[in-house]
Amino acid sequence: MNVPRKKVLVAMSGGVDSSMTTKLLLEQGYPVEGCYMKLHGNEQMHEQNIARVERVARYFNIPWHVLDRQDLFHQSVYQPFIDIYSQGQTPNPCTFCNRLIKFGTLFEFARELDCHHLATGHYVKCDGQYIYQGDDPGKDQSYFLFNIEPHIIPHLLFPLGSWRKSDVKAMAADIPLLASLATQKESSEICFVEDSYIDVLREHLQVDQPGKVLDTGGNVVGSHRGYMHYTVGQRKGFDVPLSHTALYVKQILPKTNELVVGTREEINLQRFAVRDLNLFLPDPGQEFTCEVKVRYRNPKAPARVLLGAGGSATIELERPEYAIAPGQAAAFYEGTRLLGGGYIV
**Cβ neighbours around 214 below 10 Å, total:** 20
CA 177 remoteness from chain centre = 30
Encoded amino acid at 345, one letter: V
Catalytic residues, by residue number, are 97, 191
pLDDT for residue 1: 47
Q: Tens-digit pLDDT profile for the chain (345 aa)?
A: 466 789 999 999 999 999 999 999 999 999 999 999 999 988 999 999 999 999 999 999 999 999 999 999 999 999 999 999 999 999 999 999 999 999 999 999 999 999 999 999 999 999 999 999 999 999 999 999 999 999 999 999 999 999 999 999 999 888 887 777 767 766 657 888 888 999 999 999 999 999 999 999 999 999 999 999 999 999 999 999 988 899 999 999 999 999 999 999 999 999 999 999 999 998 888 999 999 999 999 999 999 999 999 999 999 999 999 989 999 999 999 999 999 999 999
Half-sphere exposure of 4 (CA within 13 A, CB side): 6
